[in-house]
Chain A
Amino acid sequence: MELLCLEMDTIIRARPDPNLLCDDRVLQSLLTIEERFLPQYSYFKVVQKDIQPFMRRMVATWMLEVCEEEKCEEEVFPLAMNYLDRFLAVVPTKKCNLQLLGAVCMFLASKLKETRPLTAEKLCIYTDNSIRPQELLEWELVVLGKLKWNLAAVTPNDFIEHIVRKLPLPEDKLALIRKHVQTFIALCATDFKFAMYPPSMIATGSVGAAICGLQLDSADKSQWGDSLTDLLAKITNTEVDVLKECQEQIERVLVSSLREGRQQQQQQQQTQRGPSGKGLDELDQSSTPTDVRDVNL
């Protein structure tokens, strides 16, 4: 109950710093160091025996829900997933400990990125008290050791401003674009396909997908055309084909997660399910929803 009065406090946030965001050296540094923080293996084939990709998805979805319910900063979830993947790439982990690991990763990411981090107790409650704060704190140390205390990993979110400011985008749409990009990034973090991709590529692909999804690219063909992908690729030194493939992958993941969300909704409403083709058509028309996560959950 005491928590309530604390919640009323405004969140303290640094203002965007043009010295950091408008300097290409920062972008270049991010591009140089980002690979250091990628998981070392595609661990489901090599390291893990008990854990399967769908379980990572389960724990990721749960983590995203917790982060949203607790109104965490946007980068907390992708960063936590980075910790999770890096840990799983080196430590064989049992299924029953996966949620504990997810909680520990959120705990660490939140402490690194937030002025008012998630507490151990709260996280334990979200696991329905299947873990205790004491265990969370103990495993925090283990995870830190395995991550070699390298917590300040580069996330796709770090690239958003650097990319967006180099694109001729309408000022009034920027906030919406950012929101969509963040949503795409979160979506990518839930899908293991993207775990080994460099964050800059996920960010670039997400920006591309967001702009296409909002159909901002079709408004002025002469300005964009095919050049959007070219321009994006140039900003983060990505190969055009690879970037295109990444963006398409993101769009596919969005489509399937939307379809899943819709199916869940329909099941919940106990109504008759329409043919899946219809769902796709509707999706093409409606394009990106305001908040994919609302559907995704």
Chain B
Amino acid sequence: MATHKRILRTLGNGPTRRNLFGPVDREQLQVEYQAALRKDLEEASHRWGFDFLSEKPLEGGDFQWEGIPGTKVPLLYRSCMLGLGYVDGQRAAGGVVNHSGTRVGPSQSEKENIPRTPERCVLKLENLEKTPEKVENTGVKRKQTNITDFYQAKRRVVWMPRKSGQ
């Protein structure tokens, strides 16, 4: 009986489960979401003097920007710059590495503490995907986010099914 109660509680069927302020206007919410992110991006572009969409420095910014090849960047930072299909590949690879107990590739071993970070991140992501029941969509979104993510995010929604179906 106690276990039964706990199951119900776990699923949030108690009095705590409630809608406080009535229905949410989904369309309006989406509009506000896009507007909020656009504004964030504009502010970030302004602050850093960098156009995050075209990935080019803006004229007259306070910073001097220098390009770095993607392979030189720790794994953690790559996901957002690459297509999602690739990210999934990386993630799977990370899992394999963890099971076999070997280190990630040599490119990461340049700095002491960096190689571990992506691994840990990979593990967390996988755990996160296991906890909820419907994970496919949320799992995709639960990766390291970047300021440009939301623009790709729209495209990603279209891309993803195709990529995973391949």
Contact = CB atoms under 8 A, between A and B. Distances in A.
B36 interface: yes
Interface in B25-53: 25-26, 29, 32-33, 36-37, 40
Interface string A135-155: 101110110110000000000
A54 to B, nearest CB: 11
Interface in A23-67: 55, 58-59, 62, 65-66
A279 B78 CA distance: 62
Given A95-B21, A133-B138, A137-B142, A62 B132 contact: no
Contacts of A62: 16, 18, 20
A145 B33 contact: no
Contact of A130 (B19, B36, B150): B19
B14 A69 contact: yes
Contacts of A144: 145
B145 A141 contact: yes
5 contacts: A98-B20, A120-B132, A125-B12, A133-B138, A142-B40
How many chain B residues sit at the interface, stated as a range, is: 35 or more
Interface residues of A, number: 40
Looking at chain B's contact residues, the main secondary structure is loop
Contacts of A91: 36
A121 interface: yes
Given A62-B16, A135-B29, A139-B33, A119 B131 contact: yes
Contacts of A127: 17-20
B128 interface: yes
A2 B10 CA distance: 11
B134 interface: yes
A69 B40 contact: no
B9 interface: yes
